[in-house]
Structure 1
Amino acid sequence: MPRSTPRRTAHRVGVLLLPLLLLVVAACSAGPSQRPPVAYRDAEQQVTPQPQAPGPAPVPPLGPPAQESLTWDDCTEQTRGELGVPALPAGMTFTCSRLPTTLDSPEAPGRGTARSAVISAGSGRIPLVVLGDIGGEPGTAFAARMALRLPPELLRTFRVIGMDRRGTGESDSADCIPIERRNAILGFDPRATDRTTLDRLVDSVRDASQQCLLSLDERLQAYDTWRTAADLEELRLELGVPKLHAVGRGEAARVLTTFAERFPESVGRMVLDGAPDPQLDAIAQGEAQAQGAEQVFDRFAADCAARGCPLGPDPRRTVSDLVERTRAAPLPGTPVTAGKITQAVLLGLRDRDAWPGLAQALAAANRGDGSAVAAMVAPLVESTPPAPARLDGDMITSCNDTTLRVPPQRSTEIAADWSARFPLFGGVFAQRLVWCGLWPVPQQALPVPRTAGLPPVPVISTAHDAAVPALGSDHMAEQLPSGVVLRWLGAGHGAVGRSECATTAVTRFLVDGVVPTEGMACPG
C-alpha cells in the first residue's frame, strides 16, 4: 500500500494592521489591549476570528459487533501448550486465523502479498487488538497471555485479537540469520570498547545482513512499523468494524501512533501501555534505555536484598563480577557468555513477578550452572518451529524503522562512554547501534505523532521500566495532541494486567469511555 501524505495542521493566519492604526493604538492605549484583533475594509469594522487548533474528538462509540470475513479455527489446546499453563480459566477458548495483507515493499509499492497469523480470545463481540514489542514473544502468544490477565468485565465486552507482526511468529517470519551469528551478536562482550574488538561484532552483523538480504530479497525492507500499521487497517477491514480499538505495549505503541497518523478516521479507543520517546533518535533512545535499565536493576537489587537475596548482600557487585568472569569465555560446558547474561537480566527485569526467578538463575550461574540463564535467552537465538528466533524480526524491524546509521568510529566512542556511565547495560545498548550500521537505509523514518482531532489517548508511564523509560512515555503523552498521561509507580514492562489500579482505569476507558484524569497516579 503506497505511503499516504500525512495531514498537515492549518496555518494560523495573523491579522495585519495598517500602520496608521498601529500609531493610533499606541498613542491612545494605556496598556495592552484586551480587544480582539480587527481589520478595516471599506471603512467597516469587522472582527476577524482567530483559528483555533482542534481539540480532542469525543471518545468514539464501541460500534457494532464485528462483521468479519476471516475464517477462524479452534486452537485452544495448541495455545495452552505454547503458553505453558496447566489449565485455562473456565470458558476461555482461543481461535486462530490468517490475515492476508499487502507486502508493499519499496521495490513494488502497493503490490505483493503477505500473511499475518492472528488469534482471538474472549467472549465479547467488539474486537480489541493487543500488540507487544517486536523483540518479545510473538503477538499471538502475547495477546493470549494478556487475555488471561484481563478482568472479566473487559472480556465480556471485547474479544482480544493478537497478531504476529511482520517477520515474527507465524507471519511470513524472517528466519534468516544463521544461528552461529545470532549467538555471536547476542553473546558479544558487553564491555568491549576498543575498535579491534568491536570490528568482530561488525563482521557478524555484516554476515547477518547479507544472509537476510539473500533470503528475503525485496521483503527485507517491507518488515517495518510503517507497513505494520497498514496491516492493522487491513485487519480492521477484515473484522468489519468502523473503528479499531487497540492497546500497544512499549515499542508497539509506535505501531499505533503510526496507524493514527496514516488512518486517523479509523482510530477508536486506543491505549499506549508505555511508549518510546517519539522525538529521540536511536542514539538518544539507547542512552535513555541504558540509564533506565541501570535504575531498574538497582530496584531489583534492593528487592532481592529485602527477600534474603541468593546473590548476597551486594547483588550488583555479584552480577558485575559474573559478567567480568565470562567476558573471555562462557561458563564451563555452556554457551552462556557475558553478553547472554546481560541479555537475560534485561529480559528478567521486565516482569516484576519474575524477579525472584531471575535472582535464582543468576545465583546458579555464579556457581557455574548456566542452564537457567541459557533457557531465558534461548527464544532470542533458537528457532522453535513454527516460531523463528526473536532476534531476526527485532533486528530487521528496528533497523528498518530508523534512518540513522552510526559509523564504526562513532560506535566505538559511544561504547566507551556508555560503558563507563552505565556499567551493566551501556555496552549492550551501544551495540544495538552497531546492528544497523550495515543495514539498507529506509526511505524515511517513522512519523512523529502530531495529528490533531484524535480521540483521547491514555498513555501509561511506568516509573521503573527497563525497556521504556517513564520520561519517554511522558513525552509521548505531551507530543500527542490528545494524549492523557496515567502513571504507574510500580516496576515492570507494561502496567495493564499487572497494576490493578491501571487495569481498572484502562477497562473503564475501553468499556465505558471514561477518560482517566490527566496525571492520575497508581501505586506501585
Structure 2
Amino acid sequence: MRPRLILGAGLTAAILLLAGCATGPDTGPTAITGGKGDGNPAQSSSSAPQGPVLAAPRNDLGWTDCAKAVSDRFGMTAPAGTSIECASFTSPITPDQQSAELLTIDAVRARTAATPKDAPPLVLTTGTDMPAQRALLMLTAGDGKSILARNPVVAVEMRGTDSRSTIDCMTMLDSSTIVNNGIAGYPGPLRAPAALATAQRIDRLAKSGSSAADSCNDTLTPNQVNFTSVLAASDLDALRVRWGVDRLAVLGLGEGADVALSFAAQYPDRVGRLILDTPTSFGSNTRDRASTAATGVQRALTTYASRCAQIAQCSLGGNGLATIASVVNKAAKGDIPDISDTNVLTAITTALGTAISDADRAALAAAISAADRGDTKALTTLVSTTTGLRDSQPQLLSRCNNSSGTVGLDQVPGLITEWTKQNPITGTNAALSLVRCNGWATSQPAKAPTSYTTAPLVLAGTNDPINGSDASTLNAGFTEAGTAPISVSWDGLGYSVLAHSSCAADVVGDYLGATPLSGPAERACPS
C-alpha cells in the first residue's frame, strides 16, 4: 500500500550610510549595552516620520490554552507568567486557486500579563528548521523574552505540519536512510556494524532519495510541489487576511528567513516590519548553502568547545573540539550502537542551538563526554528528541522541494574531501546531504524582493549551530533592491539572536514601534 497524504480542511528608515560610504575611519558597529542602545536621542513622536502602521487583529483566531500540550510535546515548559495558546487557520494549497484544497496551518501565541492587549503581534516563522512553537518556547525562556512586554509573538508552522494532518509519502526505510545520510536505521538497529565506504553511503542515499521522490510524486500528485518556502509565504498572507489587518510584522528565523523574504517579494505592500534572525542564504543554490552551513556550523562547534572550557561544570576537557570529533568519528565507524555520525551532529547542533543557559551547555557536554567513554544513554535520548524536531517527513519533503541547482553524484566524493579539509567535523555530513534530494526536480531560486517599503532589520549571529548562518550572503540582494538594512551583530552562541539577547529584544521592540529606528545602521549587541 502506498503511503498517503492527509490534508485538513514601507518603513522609511532613519539610518546612517554604511561605513564603506562614509568619510573618515571605520569605527565599526556601535555597541549597544542596554535600553535603546543607539547612543543617540530618540526622535520625538510629534516630529518623527511614521512607518507603515501595524495593528492588532480585528478578527482574531480562536485561541485556547495549550501550555500543557506544548510542554508535553517538547519537554519544555514556558516560564511562569507566560501564556501559551494554540489556534489554527486555513490557507489554499495553491494560492492562486481559491477553490483549491485547504491546508490547516497551526499557530501558537506567547504573551504575558504585561503584553498590551492592543499591541500588534510579531509573526514568527522557522521554515523547515524545526517547529516554530519550539523556537517560541526558546524565546520565552531566553534573554529575549522581554519582547513579550511590548508585543505578543505568534509562531506559524510550516505548511504540511499541522497537528491534524500528516504527510507520510516515504517509506520508513527510505526516510531513515535519508536522515542518516546513507545509513539505514529502520526497522531495528542501524545497519552499519562497521564503517561504510564513502561510495556505499552515496549509493544508498541516492537510491533512497530517488525512491522517496517517486513515492511522494505518486502519493501527493498534483500537490507534490506545493510544500515550499515560497508558497508558505502565502500562508502568512492568509493569516493577515484572517486577522483583517493591512500589514504584518514578520520575524524569519533561520530558514524561516526564506519564507519572510518570499512574503516581502510577493506581497511588498503587506509588510509592516521585516526581521531576519540568523538568516539562511536566500536565493543561493543547494551546494552553496551546504558549503556555508559546513563552515558556519564548524565555527559554532569550535566556539562552543572554547567557551565551554570556561564553564566550571563543563566536562569536555581541555580539547573539547577533539572530544566532539571523536564521538562523531566513532558513530561513523559504527562503534556507537544505533547512532550514526549524522545523528550525532543533528543532536549536538540542535541542543547547542536551543540551549539557553550555561547549565544547558554543560549538560550537552556531559552527554558528549559520556558517549566518548562508551556510555551513550544520554546521547541516544538526545538523538531521539532532536531527530523528531529536525527531520520529519514534511521537513524533508519541503527541503527537497526548495532545492535549486543539481550536484552530480560523481562530484560528491571530491566535495567531501575538500570540505572536510576545511571543516573536519561538518564537511562530510554537509556534502553527503547534497544527495538527499536525488531524483527530485530542482526548483528555480526564489525571487528576491525588488524593493522594500520597510527597511529590514537583520540580526546577524556569528555562531549559529543549526544553519551556520552568514547574513552577509544577503547583502547583494539588498543592494540590488536599493535598500540599506539595519544590522545588529552578535557573537554569542545559539540559534536566534533575539531569543538569546535582551539587547536585541530592545532593538526589535523599538523597530516594531510607530516611528522608524534612529541611530546607526550597523550595531552590535554583547554576547
Q: Do the two structures share a fold, i.e. TM-score over 0.5?
A: yes
Once the 2 structures are TM-superposed, how far is the Cα of residue 476 of structure 1 from its aligned partner?
Answer: 6.0
* Structure 1 match to 2:464: 465
Residues 71-125 of structure 1, C-alpha deviations (whole Å, 9 max, x = no match): 33332332343343456422x333322211111189x897222111122232433
* Structure 2 match to 1:77: 68
* Structure 2 match to 1:60: 52
Gaps of 5+ in 1: 1-56, 383-387
Residue 88 of structure 2 is aligned to residue 98 of structure 1: yes
Residue type at the aligned position of 1:115: T
* Structure 2 match to 1:400: 401
Gaps of 5+ in 2: 1-48, 184-194
Residue 505 of structure 2 is aligned to residue 509 of structure 1: no
Residue 202 of structure 2 is aligned to residue 226 of structure 1: no
Residue 158 of structure 2 is aligned to residue 165 of structure 1: yes
Tell me, in whole angstroms, the C-alpha distance in 1 between the residues paired with 2:297 and 2:462. Answer: 11
Tell me, in whole angstroms, the C-alpha distance in 1 between the residues paired with 2:513 and 2:166. Answer: 34
Q: Mapping of 1:92-491 within 5 angstroms? A: 92-104=82-94, 111-122=100-111, 123=115, 124-125=117-118, 126-136=120-130, 138-149=131-142, 154-170=147-163, 172-188=165-181, 194-307=198-311, 309-331=314-336, 334-351=337-354, 353=357, 354-379=360-385, 381-382=387-388, 390-442=391-443, 444-449=444-449, 451-466=450-465, 467=467, 468-472=469-473, 478=479, 481-491=483-493
Residues 295-324 of structure 1, C-alpha deviations (whole Å, 9 max, x = no match): 221111112223364233222222323332
Which SS does the other structure have where 1:265 is aligned? helix
Once the 2 structures are TM-superposed, how far is the Cα of residue 488 of structure 1 from its aligned partner?
Answer: 1.2
Q: Which has the higher contact order (CA 8 A, sep 6+)?
A: 2
Which SS does the other structure have where 2:488 is aligned? strand
Which SS does the other structure have where 2:512 is aligned? helix
Residues 112-162 of structure 1, C-alpha deviations (whole Å, 9 max, x = no match): 2211112223243322211124131x2234335434547676435433212
| Count of aligned pairs | 455
Which SS does the other structure have where 2:168 is aligned? coil
Cα distance change of structure 1 residues 80 and 201 upon mapping to structure 2, 3 Å threshold: closer
Residues 54-76 of structure 1, C-alpha deviations (whole Å, 9 max, x = no match): xxx9621223x311163333323
* Structure 2 match to 1:5: none
Confirm or deny: 8 A CA contact 1:75 1:94 kept in the other structure.
yes
Which SS does the other structure have where 2:513 is aligned? helix
Cα distance change of structure 1 residues 180 and 116 upon mapping to structure 2, 3 Å threshold: same
Residue type at the aligned position of 2:66: C
Tell me, in whole angstroms, the C-alpha distance in 1 between the residues paired with 2:390 and 2:65. Answer: 25
Residues 375-413 of structure 1, C-alpha deviations (whole Å, 9 max, x = no match): 22324545xxxxx87332222212212331222112232
Confirm or deny: 8 A CA contact 2:367 2:378 kept in the other structure.
yes
Once the 2 structures are TM-superposed, how far is the Cα of residue 478 of structure 1 from its aligned partner?
Answer: 4.9
Confirm or deny: 8 A CA contact 1:229 1:256 kept in the other structure.
yes
Confirm or deny: 8 A CA contact 2:143 2:500 kept in the other structure.
no
Residue 517 of structure 2 is aligned to residue 523 of structure 1: no
Confirm or deny: 8 A CA contact 1:461 1:473 kept in the other structure.
no
Deviates more, 1:228-237 or 1:312-321: 312-321
Residues 157-181 of structure 1, C-alpha deviations (whole Å, 9 max, x = no match): 4332121111324274423333333
Larger Rg: 1
Tell me, in whole angstroms, the C-alpha distance in 2 between the residues paired with 1:373 and 1:474. Answer: 38
Residues 226-282 of structure 1, C-alpha deviations (whole Å, 9 max, x = no match): 110011101000011111112111110111111011011100122111212335321
Residue type at the aligned position of 2:125: L
Cα distance change of structure 1 residues 446 and 151 upon mapping to structure 2, 3 Å threshold: closer
Tell me, in whole angstroms, the C-alpha distance in 2 between the residues paired with 1:176 and 1:381. Answer: 18
Confirm or deny: 8 A CA contact 2:78 2:141 kept in the other structure.
no
Tell me, in whole angstroms, the C-alpha distance in 1 between the residues paired with 2:197 and 2:423. Answer: 13
Deviates more, 1:115-124 or 1:207-216: 207-216
Tell me, in whole angstroms, the C-alpha distance in 2 between the residues paired with 1:405 and 1:170. Answer: 33
- TM-score normalised per structure 2: 0.78
Cα distance change of structure 1 residues 271 and 362 upon mapping to structure 2, 3 Å threshold: same
Cα distance change of structure 1 residues 479 and 366 upon mapping to structure 2, 3 Å threshold: farther
Tell me, in whole angstroms, the C-alpha distance in 2 between the residues paired with 1:171 and 1:244. Answer: 26
Tell me, in whole angstroms, the C-alpha distance in 2 between the residues paired with 1:329 and 1:152. Answer: 42
Tell me, in whole angstroms, the C-alpha distance in 2 between the residues paired with 1:363 and 1:479. Answer: 48
Confirm or deny: 8 A CA contact 1:248 1:271 kept in the other structure.
yes
Residue type at the aligned position of 2:353: R
Tell me, in whole angstroms, the C-alpha distance in 2 between the residues paired with 1:68 and 1:188. Answer: 45
Which SS does the other structure have where 1:115 is aligned? strand
Out of 484, 487, 492, which is 2:494 matched to? 492
Q: Percent identity?
A: 22
Tell me, in whole angstroms, the C-alpha distance in 2 between the residues paired with 1:84 and 1:256. Answer: 28
Cα distance change of structure 1 residues 133 and 369 upon mapping to structure 2, 3 Å threshold: farther
Tell me, in whole angstroms, the C-alpha distance in 2 between the residues paired with 1:448 and 1:429. Answer: 25
Cα distance change of structure 1 residues 211 and 371 upon mapping to structure 2, 3 Å threshold: farther
Tell me, in whole angstroms, the C-alpha distance in 2 between the residues paired with 1:197 and 1:76. Answer: 42
